[in-house]
Structure 1
């Protein structure tokens, strides 16, 4: 009877009671671009411990095999354990791969920071756990490639879990994307990755080898965002060599100038955000530094992370850091810089008529899911993904005060085109039919994203749009 209930149900809408391998579906918990997560329990007369069952949305998706291979090698208390993997065979059609992982009862790192207003000592202890999880990943010659607050869960007892290895990779893994830059979330890209992305935006044979140092840089971005409430500015503005009038990235302010963060934690965060990869140190050394600082820091490390008096917020907000008009403008400028460097890749992806051979015919083009939004959020303008980033695999902890949505990360349609943006012709039409002329520039509507657009696109006329950049010019910048 339970099997008959699932007749006709696709992987995204399995009813409670559906059997997947050795597991019984209880409820759906979240959906990503290429997979959906269910809370499930073992089949049997006695109730068992719940698990997170991640099921592919597209048949024979090769991403699941790579994630399973990476997780099978992991044995770390801060990484949800892989319990099972297999194939779900619907009544008709091809099979769908699935993964079963340890269920984590918790909230995301940024939600935890909003609810708890942690001290520097508490923040250092959590960051040290994430760094230890990265240490274990790098020891296996693997990389996570999507370290961010939404992929770190904090349990009831304060334990941090690094989750969602869906875009991870390891030495010898078969590439699953045909774009120069590997998958990831724009805010967290290292300066080296941004420069490579800009220089090789049209060279589909180029491939950026994502190093462990880039995971460390992303950890630094996550730490800065957690303690200050805002993202650090982009580490580089690579397009300025070709378009000198592009504004340089804003200066990186030390966290201690914005919030009451202890000096050791502020120094470690800046080290992780270093321009030179070697200056960031390894995840193992950073974990040790964070653990020692948490043990030996003075009483200032036990103060809550609050804005400095000169950076006091001008409106009510649940953020742990400054939310002034100046801070919101800084975030929007940082978002624009990341967007400009990724724009050409989006233009190519949307204009391409021939999908990569490894993608299922019915699958959408390989674009990443929105970062740090609800599990059902639309796609973003990331340069392609091979995994299941941004899927929630934990039940939220109930809180008397629910965190407010992020303030300051909206993008209004600019009044004039960006440097290098395509312009309409003399008839006021853009080169391609799918492109829309707005305010002197050409734009692409993000069909899967609806207002509020968040930091995924620019809102106009009830839709979310992204600028189309001139990909015809060959980049002239030198090697970074």
Structure 2
């Protein structure tokens, strides 16, 4: 078939790319499109494969992904079968790669429908940790571990770590100049947030992730899988949540506190992967061995489903699950005995599982990070989870998308406003069009990746007011811990 007039994003069935014959499109993202394909010479008996084709000529992501996949050999990682370039006309070349087809369900949707037990989750996480160990042993990083990038095979409930389009390997060229590497904000490690937004000037070089970042992302995935919620934000600017990452507070929002059906062994291993100290997480191999040991030692309690099916927000249900937040106890300043009693009561409520998950009480930047969980995150397609999607998935609507082109003529509801002298409450904020805006330390050409707006050569995000504390519970404070 002649195809020199076709776009890579709209190739019809029957188009040939190398030895492969396209059967139809399965999903599309910002950088690539996924097709079902078979070997043309074996049309009747050939197995269906996933062919990922670049939407932009000369895209270096594909060469990097193909090299990384060629190094990783593990049954939980789809095999790379072929790679090449499609040249619809002279001087134009689009990269493609062919991978093993996985017929499965995205992780969170699988959890919603199957309601797995603690034992099943331990087994699933152990297999994913082994896949990460194989990746790290090949001098590679995945850099975008999350539920949307895990498929659970329908035939035998085996999980597969998908979408290495954001990955990196030793010797690979750097393709972007972001302060953060490709990835999803809700899954970033505390050390990554501290590096970029710590109490100093913006760093002169981008953050360099390591194996511990992949393990932390697996911990976030596990936490959401077990509880249906995200852990608190580790962003240093999120004073309403960042204090929960203190070592003395970690026990008050564990997976078991949030979901008593989770066995202690699974909860402890999730907490280990979410440790604020990278060295405490250990290696992917050590985590896999600990998970496998927990499977062998678990009793009958481990076979109880983690969800009954009657929860108001079961895992994987849209809209995106909210973060776990805990009402902060009042500080011990005056009347120490009364303050101590209030603190004990607050901790008792926390330990009893009475965690605040009100959408209205959640900081705006937390909501932004959660909404970005569905973003392409710089990957080749939209995540290899599109291999099972009948149509290309849509991005969750967000109020932030309305400011991607130009500043609005008036402030958003809940946005901070300057005082009568035109001054905003923080020195890092500036007043524009009646609202306060925070500068984002990224190149303006990447501003849209942060759901911000480029204005006069600088990237901005709206500065939102902190929500008032609920009148039915203990008062919260906005000051520093």
Q: 1:392 Cα shift? A: 3.0
Query: How many angstroms apart in 2 are the aligned matches of 1:406 and 1:72?
Result: 31
TM-aligned CA deviation for residue 326 of structure 1: 6.2
Do 1:119 and 1:303's aligned partners in 2 also have CA atoms closer than 8 Å?
yes
More helix by share: 2
Aligned to 2:163: 164
Any idea what SS the aligned residue of 1:104 has? Answer: coil
Q: Secondary structure at the match of 1:95?
A: strand
The alpha-carbon deviation at position 281 of structure 1 amounts to 1.2
The structure-2 alpha-carbon separation of the partners of 1:414 and 1:92, relative to structure 1 and needing over 3 Å to count, comes to farther
Listed as ranges, the matches of 1:256-267 within 5 Å are: 256-259=256-259, 260-267=261-268
Of the three residues 39, 42, 45, the one matched with 1:42 is 39
Question: 5+ residue gaps in structure 2?
Answer: 245-249, 325-353, 401-411, 418-424, 441-448, 453-458, 465-481
Instruction: Find out whether 1:249 has 2:242 as its counterpart.
Output: yes
After TM superposition, the structure 1 stretch with the greater mean CA deviation from structure 2, 110-119 or 287-296, is: 287-296
Displacement of 1:60 in angstroms is: 1.0
DSSP 3-state at the match of 1:161: strand
Q: Is the 8 A contact 1:64 1:99 kept in 2?
A: yes
Cα distance in 1 between the residues matched to 2:437 and 2:461: 7
Tell me how far apart the structure 1 counterparts of residues 224 and 145 of structure 2 sit (CA, whole Å).
Answer: 12
Indicate whether 1:12 and 2:6 are aligned.
no
> Residue 461 of structure 2: which of 455, 462, 467 is its match?
467
1:417 and 1:289 map into 2 onto residues whose CA distance is: 47
CA distance in 1, matches of 2:360, 2:212: 24
Compute the displacement of 1:140 (Å).
1.1
How far the C-alpha of 1:21 sits from its partner, in A, is: 1.1
Distance in 2 between residues matched to 1:201 and 1:164, nearest whole Å: 34
Distance in 2 between the 1:307 and 1:333 partners? 26
Matched, 1:226 2:225: yes
Verify the 8 A CA contact 1:12 1:36 in the aligned structure 2. yes
Q: Please name the residue that 1:148 is paired with.
A: 146
Determine the structure 1 residue equivalent to 2:407: none
Return 181-190 or 84-93, whichever deviates more: 84-93
Of residues 290-299 and 119-128 in structure 1, the stretch that sits farther from structure 2 once superposed is: 290-299
Contact conserved, 1:180 with 1:201, CA < 8 A, in 2?
Answer: no
Paired positions, count = 387
Structure 1 match to 2:421: none
- In the superposition, the TM-score normalised over structure 1's length comes to 0.71
Match of 2:96 in 1: 98
Tell me by how many angstroms 1:174 deviates. 1.1
Q: Which residue of 1 aligns with 2:416?
A: 417
Change (3 A) 1:319 1:207: closer
How far apart are the structure 2 equivalents of 1:302 and 1:273? 24
Aligned to 1:76: 74
User: Residue 357 of structure 1 corresponds to which residue in structure 2?
Assistant: none
Equivalent residues in 2 for 1:281-320, closer than 5 Å: 281-306=282-307, 313=311, 319=317
Corresponding residue for 2:20?
23
Distance 1:335 1:87, change over 3 A: farther
Q: How far, CA to CA, are the matches of 2:289 and 2:258 in structure 1?
A: 25
Q: Distance in 1 between matches of 2:13 and 2:131?
A: 33
Query: Residues 401-412 of structure 1: matches in 2 within 5 Å?
Result: none
Q: Which residue of 330, 355, 362 corresponds with 1:333? A: 362
- Where structure 1 has 5 or more consecutive residues not aligned to the other structure, the ranges are 241-245, 343-368, 373-378, 398-404, 430-436, 445-454, 459-464, 471-480
State the 1:209 CA deviation: 1.4
Kept in 1, the 8 Å contact 2:150–2:385? The answer is: no
The residue aligned with 1:206 is: 205
Displacement of 1:42:
0.7
- Further displaced range: 246-255 or 146-155: 246-255
